[in-house]
Structure 1
Amino acid sequence: DSQGFFHQWSAIAAQRGVKRLYIGEPNAEAIAGEAPDLIIISATGADSAVRLYDQLSAIAPVLVVNYDDKSWQALAIELGRATGHEARAQKIVDDFDSREKSLKQRMTLPEQPTSALVFSADGKSANLWTAESSQGQMLKQLGFTLAVPSDKLNNSRSM
């Protein structure tokens, strides 16, 4: 969006005064300018700033998280623990679990297994969510059985 956030987070980011420091490439100078007391970076993916770890760790303690191999719930608990908000993170997870249970009782799933192929907004790329991905784990929790991708596909190349 115009603020540099995903559309679904834009309003809450504005409400909480969250400031976008950069778009695309991580910018250590912009991060340093905010004088953070903790810097959280992704271990993998397009948003990873691992290559800046030494630079960032000179600014503040750095927590490197890998979010592509765990559920959002596990990530929320990990981040809650790191930031002193563990009880709040656990409440959010518990509230979600309750809502998920209610939703599962009302859902009618399509024939299984199914594939979760999600195209980017620009139509130039797509992601195939597997059972191991965080998105796939959530779909499994809802009762979906994800089809196993062909051996010709893997997460390290484009086709």
Structure 2
Amino acid sequence: MPLALKIVLIVLAVVLVLFIVLIIVGRKMQKKQEASQADIEAASQILSMLVIDKKRMKITEANLPKVITEQIPKYMKLAKMPIVKAKIGPKVMTLIADVKVFDALPVKMESKVKVSGIYITEIISTRGKVTVQPKKKGFRAKLAEKAAKAQAEATKAKAPAKSKKK
């Protein structure tokens, strides 16, 4: 057998083994996530809160209780999480929000939310008028818009001015 064929077969075998391992690990993680989601739903309660501030920051900078920061895995401590500072009753608390909830949560407004421990899982209602912030354009979208404008200007400049003869 030629050497190139042996190398290709070895690479294919390694890729196949990695693919199988990823499938097995993915299934285990999915089962864990489903179990934790059921626990979150069971422990959730509805609270009324005034959102003071919200931002994405590292868990270590978020001023969360020490017990919580110790339980979080090391790789999550480096990632930026959606943190919400809210007044619940007379207390000001720091909470972690779900990514979907974080974008929709209005600042400086009172909201009824479903909370499980310090984790905001969903918004039930908001008092007052909610203003939807326009979504920021990404780099590619801005680039495409500039290209479209340049294209339009180029076609305008190329079009000859029509003169009317009488």
* TM tier relative to shorter chain: under 0.3
Q: Counting strand residues as a fraction of each chain, which structure ranks higher?
A: 2
Give TM-score, length-normalised by structure 1.
Answer: 0.27
Q: TM-score, normalised on structure 2?
A: 0.27
Q: Tell me which of the two structures has the higher relative contact order, counting C-alpha pairs closer than 8 angstroms and 6 or more residues apart.
A: 2
Question: Which structure's CA Rg is the greater one?
Answer: 2
